[in-house]
Amino acid sequence: MTPFEKSRSGAPPGFFAVEAAGLAWLGAVEALRVGQVVDVTADRLRLDRVVEVPPTASAAEQLGRGLARVHRAGAPHHGAPPDGWTGDGFIATLPLPHLDHAGPGWAEFYAGSRLSPYVGIAADHGGLDDDGVRTIERVMSRLVDGRLSAPDAEPARLHGDLWSGNILWSADGPVLIDPAAHGGHRETDLAMLDLFGLPHLDRVLAAYDETWQLDDGWRERVPLHQLHPLLVHAALFGGGYGAQAVAAARRYV
């Protein structure tokens, strides 16, 4: 079967190599299938092609159980890159900061490395107005000073861009592709699943919770964890994504 190929002429250094490293890091847990790398160059990534089938409830449960095990495999610290990689990564076409050492904690990492880098870009591209910027900055301030956080913030091994389009459904179960893998809070991946919708999401979450129980109040923190991908989308596409980010942020100020 012909491999699936992603290419980008003039891609920045490491654009595809860090993705390949992320796939290997997630796949090393042997809890979920990941896209199998055929070869990677500076401007191309080739993967074994996956024959897709309609998602089923049992496959969704498999995803939930496997994702809990991947998360629980952990990471050296929040912001850690995948094994075998140094330097920053990418989410979509934007740089994604990685940290080469442990910082103060998840809340500070999230504010400084997952919200702050994208606020200015979103504003420059018309995705946030001045009031929206101030609202996001108030959330960042509450994260940094400890008034806003999340429990059980041991670094999890995250996919990092876990929307429905990055999960392929095969006859053998779900397959993860296109990660922005790093160490972070496990609720972030789950919030991303919820952001753009996923078939049988209730079964995914139930199976996850049975495998690794979620903390009280996690549903109330979903919009907090969705701030990062919403700001990324506002930075890339502007428009309504910035409004969604501000609406989410206002729940926490």
pLDDT tens track for 157-209: 999 999 999 999 999 999 999 999 999 999 999 999 999 999 999 999 999 99
Q: Of 65-79, 110-124, 143-157, 232-246, which range is least confident?
A: 143-157
Q: What is the pLDDT of residue 103?
A: 83
Query: What are the structural domains, with CATH classification, of the chain?
Result: 4-252 (3.90.1200.10)
What's the CA gap between 187 and 148, in Å, rounded? 15
Q: Is the pLDDT of residue 152 over 80?
A: no
pLDDT tens track for 99-126: 998 888 999 999 999 999 999 999 999 9
pLDDT tens track for 69-91: 999 999 999 999 999 999 999 99
For β-strands 33-34 and 173-176, DSSP reports them as parallel
What's the CA gap between 47 and 6, in Å, rounded? 8
Pair 42, 16: CB distance under 8 Å = yes
